[in-house]
Amino acid sequence: MKVVAITGKQACEIVDRADPRIKGDFVKVAIRSAPMCTEVSEYRNGSIGDSLGHEAAGEVVEIAQPGQVAVGDRVVVMPLYGCGKCRLCLSGEHIHCEHGVDPYQFCGSQTGRATYAQFCIKQDWLLVPIPEDISYDHASMACCGLGPTFNAMQQMAVNALDTVLVSGLGAVGLGAVVNARCRGARVIALESNEYRAALAKKLGVEAVVDPRDEHRLERIMELTGGCGADKSVETSSADTAPAFLIQATRRKGQIASVGWGGPMMAREIVGKGLTIHGTWHWNHFRDTQAMLQTIRQSRAMLDQVITHTFPMREVKKAWELQMTGACGKIILHPWD
């Protein structure tokens, strides 16, 4: 199969690799949509390797045994691998599994973990069936595009009466906007990239505040009647972001962090009576219907957030574009 490989600093190629092999509850999926996530930093730095990407939607092309999916099923491929037997996996939280499983060792395969590739392998219980009325590109947003911020919405019960502050408008932050707007919330955002700020405005964000603006807190207070946002979502991973969100969120409000950067001080969390949620992915046992409904109701927004798609062979062009910052979510099509 064809696979993307980084061959040097900002250098890459399409290479041939063995098709992956499966066993047990592992399933072979032909990837139709491979959304691009943080791999651009490996391209930028020249981390040589041919195992890239963790997001995908595609078609089941081979199963090793009867199970939850059949050949021909259209599915979203959840990121990572869980052991399937621990408390976390059994309750739909495989992303936090303490054990994991090595798919290569279990299946005797040398490939299949990457999604910048024509095939990948995954346990059947980590595949979410895609209803007929949803396209592969839209469905693939149920990975990092919409996933972690969808969970933030669920955890904070974001609804149409809320003002939500989104910190960072990268692909994940734009997903937060889609999720919050889909639920009818009023959205304010923090972002300095003008392209993304403009894109967010088209999605219905009321105001985008520049985090470099020294009056950024005053700006948000003006927009929220002096109280701060009801609920905030951190997606920028900037070290200063969590502390700023604590200031910009109202007393007794909530913050969900998807970003991994920075500290929060207990004294400020206690003083304001805040609740903070760490959210990495979503629970596909409990919330699949709500996720699919989100995608259905957000089609027009998703078409704006997915600013570009490329055949996988043009991945270099895609990465170069990502480095400019003048894009939303980019999706690769491995078979085009």
Using CB under 8 A, list all residues that contact its own copies.
23-25, 64-68, 84-85, 87-88, 90-93, 95-96, 98, 125, 129, 155, 157, 159-161, 182-184, 227, 234, 242, 251-252, 257-280, 285-286, 288-290, 293-294, 297
Residue type, 285: F
CB of 95 vs its own copies, minimal distance in Å: 8
Q: To the nearest whole angstrom, how small is the minimum distance from the Cβ of residue 303 to its own copies?
A: 19
Q: Please, are residues 210 and 194 in contact by the beta-carbon 8 Å criterion?
A: no
**Residue 288: which of 155, 127, 169, 171 has the closest Cα?**
127
Are 104 and 21 in contact by the 8 Å Cβ rule? The answer is no
Q: Which is nearer to its own copies, 212 or 267 (CB)?
A: 267
Chain-centroid distance of CA 8 in Å reads 26
Q: Which is nearer to its own copies, 205 or 274 (CB)?
A: 274
Compare residues 98 and 194 and give the one whose CB is closer to its own copies.
98
Give 58 or 259: the residue with its C-beta nearer to its own copies: 259
Query: Which C-beta is closer to its own copies: that of 169 or that of 178?
Result: 178
CB closer to its own copies out of 8 and 273? 273
Q: How far is the CB of 235 from its own copies (least distance, A)?
A: 11
Give the shortest CB-208-to-its own copies separation in angstroms: 22
Q: Alpha helix (H) ranges present in 160-226? A: 171-182, 194-202, 216-223
Name the residue nearer to its own copies (CB basis): 260 or 335: 260
Torsion of CA 21, 25, 31, 33, to 10 degrees: -150
DSSP string, 220-244: HHHHTTTS-EEEEEE-S--TTHHHH
3-state secondary structure of 108: coil
Residue 93 or 137 having the CB closest to its own copies: 93
Whether residue 70 contacts residue 126, with contact meaning beta carbons closer than 8 Å, is answered with no
Q: Write out the H or E segment, with its range, that includes residue 317.
A: helix 315-324
Shortest separation between residue 243's beta carbon and its own copies, angstroms: 9
The DSSP output letter for 20 is P
Helix (H) or strand (E) holding 202: helix 194-202
Nearer to its own copies, 132 or 214 (CB): 132
C-beta of 23: minimal distance to its own copies in Å?
7
Q: Is 7:40 a contact under the CB 8 Å cutoff? A: no
Cα 135–138–144 angle (5° rounding)?
145
Among the listed residues 187, 154, 192, the one whose alpha carbon sits nearest the alpha carbon of residue 282: 154
203: Cα within 13 Å, side-chain hemisphere = 37
Please give the C-alpha separations between residue 84 and each of 15, 75, 93, in angstroms, as whole numbers. Answer: 32, 18, 10
In whole angstroms, how close is the CB of 98 to its own copies at the nearest point?
Answer: 7
Residue 257 CB, nearest distance to its own copies (Å)?
Answer: 5
Residues 6+ positions from 313 with CB-CB distance below 8 Å: 2, 14, 336
Shortest Å, Cβ 127 to its own copies: 11
